[in-house]
Structure 1
Amino acid sequence: MLPNLANLDKIAYRKIEILKLLISQNAPCSASVLSKKLAISGKTLLSYLIELEPYLAEYKKHIRLVKTKEGYFLSKKNSFSMDTLYYEIEKETLFFSFFSYNFHYQNETIDSYAKKQFVSYSYLYRHIRLMNQLLKPFKISYNLSPLKLNGSEVRIRFFAFYYYFHTCNGIAWPFRLVSDQKYDSFIHQLERLTYQTFSVIQKEKLRYWFAICETRYRLNDFIDYRETLYQNVAEHHPLFSVLQPLILNFLNKFKIPTKTNECHFLFFIIQNILKMPTDSLLHIQDEPLIQKTTQFLEDIKVVFPTIQLSQLFKEELLYLMYSATHLGDSYIHFLENSSHSSTFTYRYEAELTQLFTKIKCFGNQSNYFQNSVMKLIETQLAAEHYQPQIKMLVVTKLDNLQKRSLLQKLNSLPFQLIVTEQMEENVDLIVSDFYLNNQTTPTFFWNSLPLENDWANLIEILHDFEKQKIET
């Protein structure tokens, strides 16, 4: 969730907080205990529970709130994703509706928008100022007259991607001007040209990015042609010449000025999502980002002489460097979860401190970047491989390091698991934090950053699979 967003729509996010607390309980929880954990009165808690009833009623076949003598608990089918309820609540918030309107349309006035939403001018004006405070770390804001998103086009697009992708979570398509099926043919051609079979998440990310770019083209908002990074990456990547005709064919459907970086930017996005090899990029001599990254890799080797700098490690580090320099530290923090992050143990703290003392290239405003790099190095050093027997398909919207940590923890469970991200034959179980339709394979939905209760439920299910395999 967007950091501090709960401060803007407190009632909506308090409802989500109640649902998360209830679903994390292994036993009924009394109203007094719930209200104490939420720091609200018992009367307020009961009021929220009543307001949650319509949301629960809509999915009564899958989930229900049960009240016993001991307290309240949520009875939920494993095949039902809690993100469905979270989305139903969040889409009604002012931030979601206001951002969606301004991302798709421009030149509305505060007064006309307030009338459409049946709110007062002063109410909307006050909340726009609050939203601008929230967006300030992302270096974007709302212009007041006319209403319009301000900031670099790259940041606006990345913010839209992160916010929409992790709010909608496969449950709904947030783009008003294009359908999600529109890009299926384009994605199929990408698979053919790259000789890859894309995962569910890769396809969905591509759809989101194509929809984001097309929406911005319709508003005549384009990537600044003076930004040389995307052109340098494209021209030094061996696959650009292969994909360029397909990308240009997509762009030719729109009235795009000659002086734009749209073709190179789209390739940059595609190669990042598909994790195309980036070794050739590290030899670009005149690109500041590449120079910083290669120097950083050399510094890591000095401090950690035995570390294996794999292709995946280099790709993740390069993307972190890009996020820190071209977007900002807050974009790295966007997907962070404070409680999850606090559980990470650093076994090489002295060496990591030495490393960041040595480089001094990001100043004091790079806490999230430094934490992410530290986790990346720790994870690389601690990587282990396990021999599996239960085939598990993992569908997750997590990126890079967080996904890698999740897969590592799955492999550390007391089972012989084959963990895959590609749809294969004979999959025993799908574990997903992303809504999936029409699955015949047993599916377990959980939080994108799983709670203790999620892990306990998954272990119980795996025990059942293990028992079934032994018996058969």
Structure 2
Amino acid sequence: MLAETDKIIYRKIQLLKVLDASNDYLKTVDLANFLDLSLKTVQKELESLIEDLKNSSYAVKLEKVGNLYRFIKKSSVNMDLIYLDFKRESIYFYLMRKAVFRKTIKEKKEIDYFYSASHLYKNKRIFKTYLMNYGLELDLSTLSIEGNEINIRFLYFQFFWENYRGVEWPFDTIDRQELIREIEQLDTFLFKSMTEIEKEQFLYWVAIIKIRASNDQLLIENRVKLNQVMFKDMQEFQQIVAKTIGVIEKTTLHSEAVYLYFAYTLTTESTFYKQQLLADLEKDNKNFQIHKMVRELTTKFSQKFSLNTHPNYVDVYFSIYKLFVCQSIYHGSLREYESRNLFESGIIKQYEKEFALFYPEVMKNYGKKYSENRYLYQRVLFLFSTLIEESSYRPQINIKILSSGGAIEELLLTKKVQSLANNIAIKDSNAKDLDIIVSDCMVNNTENDLVFYWNLQPTEKEWEALARRIAEIEQDKELRIPLVTN
């Protein structure tokens, strides 16, 4: 739920992303259709955007010719920084950062920012409703976020990582270089072995612990009940916590170290740490209903399709575990924001019949919040079916898309065509290795044998026909692969 002023800001960001993705002039009506907004709304936001960019310090501009718009920028411009600057003007950002850093701002200044006392109160209520999605509460007088400490920390991580990663360091009260020096002084293998992105994620987690510790919000008990005999790097986690937040009581130190290990492992890409966390959970599985459920589900699917020897099996197993943890314990606060149309792809439908038989059978023992959760069902099926697809060679299908509807329509079609299978590659008009051209307009005669014609607005039957054509091309390419003999 967003305040009205925030909706305007995020609409502008959406418009900028679409305009930046195209080098051409785009029609107002196409932008409105693409973003599912009214023509009047888009026209208003575009005019406002022209002024916003004109008054900014960035080397960008939005050019208007009649009802056509084109975004112009220098190659050195960081668009993520521009998007972040727009977000900074949102009420959501203002309230979240005030809650995180406990900044004391006089009521009069707040009222000036929000135009009126009633406007301020209304937006606090909207923010409070938003936090309820994460099982958290908001103290309207102090703007303090209250509730489960781990939930709060995961919410903070989501907010900062989604909006600031790769753009700028978001923690004003913590010197990033000093934090790195503190950790490096310990000379731990843990930090040295991380990739650059893993190090950045780890720094975010440690920074959040420091912020919470400065407000006396420490984990007194180990809410993440991992077994007490952790692997050797647990000592390194304890050293890092002790170094960065100071001397604390032994039990609290252990709880914070276990939390840091658990939180970091949920976000890292390191297969080693994923395997280790799953091994620790396996030792103490009676305390972990979620892990037991995921293990049962994964085992059944793996036995059906012989997947446990696949090199990416651990990654998928862990992704499913993370999905259930984030959906149930943390109210979805780390849910990835992927497009829902992935769940409608052709990959899934091939395996849905078998999956539909044993998924409810496994989930019925764990309650309706799992067995009747459509998002979990579709996401798990998508992960499994992708793994099956990767288990066998599939030749790449090179597709070119042409539309008389222009760049926006081609972009929409591209996304949907790519969702039909994971071996589809969209090629430009100059590609020489095309397998099929999908078009609603006449194409050069020399390429006619490659063309699949359909309407500007394809019907469901035409989509089904395209899927069959792609399957036929794939089968033909497989038959033409030469056999390798000794």
TM-score (ref. length: structure 1): 0.70
Partner-residue secondary structure (3-state), 1:318: helix
**Matched ranges for 1:422-437 at <5 A:** none
CA contact (8 A) 1:12 1:90 kept: yes
Q: Deviations over 1:79-107 (max 9, x none)?
A: 5443222111011101101110111117x
Q: How far 1:202 moved relative to its partner?
A: 1.3
Q: Where does 1:174-189 land on structure 2 (aligned, <5 Å)?
A: 174-186=170-182, 188=184
Q: Any conservation in 1 of the 2:6–2:91 contact (CA below 8 Å)?
A: yes
Give 2:61's aligned residue. 64
Q: Secondary structure at the match of 1:138?
A: coil
Q: Which residue, 258, 263, 267 being the options, matches 1:264?
A: 258
SS of 1:65's equivalent?
strand
Looking at structure 1, the residues matched to 356 and 154 of structure 2 have their Cα atoms a distance apart, in angstroms, of 30
| SS of equivalent residue, structure 1 residue 235 | coil
Secondary structure class of the residue paired with 2:71: strand
1:140 and 1:156 in contact (8 A); partners too? yes
Q: 1:245 to 1:17 in 2, by over 3 A?
A: closer
1:312 aligns with 2:320: no
Aligned length: 389
Larger mean Cα displacement after TM superposition, 13-22 or 257-266: 257-266
Give yes or no for contact 1:65–1:72 (8 Å, CA) kept in 2: yes
C-alpha deviations, 1:146-188, integer Å up to 9, x for none? 3210121111111111111111232222212112222223554
> Are residues 411 and 30 of structure 1, via their aligned partners in 2, closer, same or farther at CA, if it must alter by over 3 Å?
closer
Q: Check conservation: 1:296, 1:359, Cα contact below 8 A.
A: yes
Aligned residue for 1:9, secondary structure, equals: helix
Specify whether residues 307 and 193 from structure 1 end up closer, same or farther in structure 2 by C-alpha distance, changes over 3 A only.
Answer: closer
Deviations 1:324-381 (A, max 9, x none): 33212x3254533345655574131112222321211352463333333222212211
- What is the correspondence of 1:240-279 to structure 2 with a 5 Å cutoff? 240-241=234-235, 243-251=236-244, 253=246, 258-259=251-252, 261-272=255-266, 273=268, 274-275=270-271, 276=273, 277-278=275-276, 279=278
Match of 2:380 in 1: 373
Q: 1:217 to 1:411 in 2, by over 3 A?
A: farther
Name the structure 1 match of 2:287.
287
Q: 1:168 to 1:285 in 2, by over 3 A?
A: closer
Displacement of 1:19 in angstroms is 1.3
Question: Secondary structure of the residue that 2:138 maps to in structure 1?
Answer: strand
Q: Which moved more, 1:7-16 or 1:252-261?
A: 252-261
Q: Structure 1, residues 388-442: CA drift from partner, whole Å, max 9, x if none?
A: xxxxxxxxxxxxxxxxx99x96996789xxxxxxxxxxxxxxxxxxxxxxxxxxx
* Structure 1 residue 52: Cα displacement: 4.2
Query: Which structure has the larger Rg?
Result: 2
Return closer, same or farther for 1:409/1:180 CA change in 2, 3 Å cut-off.
farther
Q: What's the CA shift string for 1:291-312, capped at 9, x where partnerless?
A: 3333333233344345546332
* Match in the other structure for 1:451: none
Counterpart-to-counterpart distance in 1, 2:256 and 2:204:
16
Give the AA of the match of 1:53. E
Partner of 1:208: 204
- The 1:413–1:203 alpha-carbon spacing in structure 2 relative to 1, beyond 3 Å, is farther
- Matched to 1:280, the amino acid is A
Alpha-carbon spacing, 1:156–1:195, altered in 2? closer, same or farther (3 Å):
closer
Deviation at 1:213, TM superposition (A): 1.0
**Following TM superposition, by how much is the alpha carbon of 1:72 offset from its aligned partner in structure 2, in angstroms?**
0.9
TM-score, normalised by the number of residues in structure 2: 0.68
- In the TM superposition, what whole-angstrom CA distance separates every residue of 1:255-294 from its partner, at most 9, and x where no partner exists? 5684462121112233442441325222324322443333
- What corresponds to 1:120 in structure 2? 116
Does the CA-based 8 Å contact 2:53-2:62 persist in structure 1? no
Give the AA of the match of 2:333.
Y
Paired residues of 2:84 and 2:164 also in contact (CA < 8 A): yes
Structure 1 residues 45, 139: closer, same or farther in 2, change over 3 A? same
Aligned partner of 2:24: which letter?
Answer: A
Cα 1:210–1:92 change in 2 (3 A) is: same
Contact kept in structure 1, 2:327 and 2:335, CA below 8 Å = no
Q: Which amino acid aligns with 1:215?
A: I
Paired residues of 2:222 and 2:258 also in contact (CA < 8 A): no
Q: 1:23–1:74: 8 Å Cα contact kept in structure 2?
A: yes
The match for 2:102 is 105
Q: Verify the 8 A CA contact 1:22 1:73 in the aligned structure 2.
A: yes
Judge conservation of contact 1:64–1:76 (CA < 8 Å) in 2: yes
Cα distance change on mapping 1:65 and 1:147 into 2, 3 Å: closer
Stretches of structure 2 that go unaligned for 5 or more consecutive residues are: 396-417, 429-486
Higher relative contact order (CA 8 A, sep 6+): 1
Give the conservation status (yes or no) of the 8 Å contact 1:65–1:75: yes
Contact 1:6 1:13 in 2 (8 A): no
**Alignment partners' CA distance in 1, 2:132 and 2:70:** 39
Within-5 A mapping of 1:124-273: 124-186=120-182, 188=184, 192-194=188-190, 197-223=193-219, 225-229=221-225, 231-232=226-227, 235-241=229-235, 243-251=236-244, 253=246, 258-259=251-252, 261-272=255-266, 273=268
Shift of 1:67: 2.8
Counterpart of 1:237 in 2: which secondary structure?
A: coil
RMSD: 3.8
Q: Percent identity?
A: 19
Q: Which residue of 2 aligns with 1:355?
A: 358
Given that residues 64 and 70 in structure 2 are in contact (C-alpha distance below 8 angstroms), is that contact kept between their aligned partners in structure 1? yes
Which residue matches 1:16? 13
Amino acid aligned to 2:383: L
State whether structure 2 residue 89 is matched by structure 1 residue 92: yes
